[in-house]
Amino acid sequence: MARIADQQADFPQWYLDVIEQAQLAEHAIVKGCIIFKPYGYALWEAMQRDMDARIKDLGVENAYFPLLIPESVMAKEKEHIKGFAPECAVVTHGGGKELTEKLYIRPTSETIMYTTFAKWIHSYRDLPLKINQWANIVRWEMRTRPFLRTLEFLWQEGHTAHATKEEADKMAEDALAMYADFDREMLALPVLKGKKPDHDKFAGALYTLTTEALARDGKAIQAGTSHNLGQGFSEAYDMSFLDTEGKSQRPWITSWGVSTRLIGTVIVVHGDTKGLRLPPSLAPIQVVVVPIYKSDEEKTAVLEACDGLKRALSENIRIKVDSREEKSPGFKFNEWEVKGVPLRIELGPRDLKSGNVVLVRRDTLEKQTVPLTECTDFRMRSLLQEIQDGLYAQAKGFMDSHTYETDSHEEFTKLLEGEGGFVWAPWDGTVESANRIKDKSKATIRLLGDAAKAKGKKDLISGEAAKEYALFAKAY
């Protein structure tokens, strides 16, 4: 297999090399788009299955809405269209003729969904309305990178309508908590949760909540967002209901979503010099068995033992026997390491004679010889859970050791120019100061913390009294 770039020396190239050699995706003929290869799409399918169950546990139902949105519908919410206009792709011709009204390819679905919600909601009895959509989205990005930022991507978008702000607040918080739980339990990702500053909230939202992960190159990556959209969209799309007293009210709306960017997040948080390291909960293949033999006689005995191991474990474990004859054991070891399979079992004639197998953990690359009789369902599942927990602990340790606090601009700059990471610092609450920091350091505010910690401190740039304690980082 081709060499993977050094992670420390050239992280961007390392990232592209891992995607190529792990056979996750390749560039499409449409610039800025990718083709999900089967192994890469399997990661999204696993995320989708797990996330879909969590979404339904919140009382949300799945539906599907059109890809194309009339310009008149998009234009009803002024802040929304203003925020997305630069990224929109627009259809002007269809059936060989110029359209009388332009159609936007959805950059997100609030507009088309809320036009429909207005038809569905009439009474307080129709609330809460909780709808989720699994869909593709198009945003005309200028700088693209596979999974992290592409013209077209896949995602889920939840949209809910509520009778009160308090109910909408709770829904937005519940969605964010669901994402954080999913990140931890499914992806072994530690994330920080919080509120975005107003200048960086979703276009048209009352406020935006976010989960932020930290990549191994010290950059932040937004893993998921949840928004309380207030009543602005209700007003723009003439959504109303009669309350218990028969009075007309506007619903409070939330929207929230995660995308295939999570695949990129798993790569940049867990990947190492050899390639992917997949959490067992996510991995399409949790255990790969590599048979080793030279003669036909050895082959028969070894493959029988490998197949027996697979039969014993396959009920609860996703296991594969790599019996390809055209590839050497060494090639297979390397390939499955690049693909991040959590656990490898090596089995050859000597192992059969001794009654042992060699286990290799992908998280630590630790090898151990164990009796074949100990390769039970319980033992393997316990070991996979150790790997899951170990990956989380490593990522959490990295994030903790790269999270800092400072009220010195000099130290702030030094930290970000070094290994990077998250930096908590006082902020005066103005867009001007945030932009000046961004211009000088390329760092942006990822989320806001405890405002009380800003008391008595001064903004790093303006020197004015701080109003917020903000988390800064360079980001994808």
For 334-380, how does the pLDDT look when each residue is reduced to its tens digit (9 = 90+)?
Answer: 999 999 999 999 999 999 999 999 999 999 999 999 999 999 999 99
Please give the angle made by the CA atoms of 282, 284 and 288, to the nearest 5 degrees.
115
Tally of residues, the chain: 476
Domain limits, CATH 3.40.50.800, in the chain = 287-383
Record the pTM: 0.95
How far is residue 206's CA from residue 228's CA, in Å, rounded to a whole number?
6
Euclidean distance between CA atoms 442 and 416, whole angstroms? 9
How many Å separate Cα 257 from the centre of its chain? Answer: 10
**Residue 261, C-beta contacts closer than 8 angstroms, at least 6 positions apart:** 147, 148, 149, 153, 221, 222, 223
pLDDT digits (tens, 9 = 90+) for 129-145: 999 999 999 999 888 99
Which segments of the chain belong to CATH 3.30.110.30? 403-473
The angle at the Cα of 371, spanning 370 to 372, to the nearest 5 degrees, equals 115
Give the whole-number percent of the chain exceeding pLDDT 70. 100
Residues 6+ apart with CB under 8 A from 297: none
If residue 346 lies in a helix (H) or strand (E), which one and from where to where? strand 343-347
- CATH class of this structure's domain 403-473: alpha beta
Q: Is the pLDDT of residue 315 over 70?
A: yes
- Using DSSP, state whether 301 is helix, strand or coil: helix
* Helix H or strand E segment including 170: helix 165-185
Specify the residue for token string 């164990």: 370
What tokens does 314 get?
């396959």
For position 9, what pLDDT does the model report? 95
The SS3 of residue 444 is: strand
Maximum distance among all alpha carbons in the chain?
A: 84
**pLDDT exceeds 70 at position 40:** yes
CB atoms closer than 10 angstroms to residue 9: 8
**Please, are residues 268 and 215 in contact by the beta-carbon 8 Å criterion?**
yes
Residues of the chain with CATH 3.30.930.10: 11-67+113-270
Q: Would the pLDDT of 80 be above 90?
A: no
C-alpha radius of gyration, the chain, whole number: 25
Topology (CATH) of 287-383: Rossmann fold (3.40.50)
From CA 136, how far away is CA 154, in angstroms rounded?
Answer: 4
Q: Which CATH number fits domain 11-67+113-270: 3.90.1150.10, 3.40.1190.20, 3.40.50.920, 3.30.930.10?
A: 3.30.930.10
- Per residue in 154-186, pLDDT (tens digit) is 999 999 999 999 999 999 999 999 999 999 999
Q: pLDDT of 103-116, one tens digit each?
A: 999 999 999 999 99
> For 390-428, what is each residue's pLDDT tens digit?
999 999 999 999 999 999 999 999 999 999 999 999 999
pLDDT at 293: 94
CA angle 384–44–310, rounded 5-degree value: 40
Paired tokens of 222: 């937004």
pLDDT in tens, 371-399: 999 999 999 999 999 999 999 999 999 99
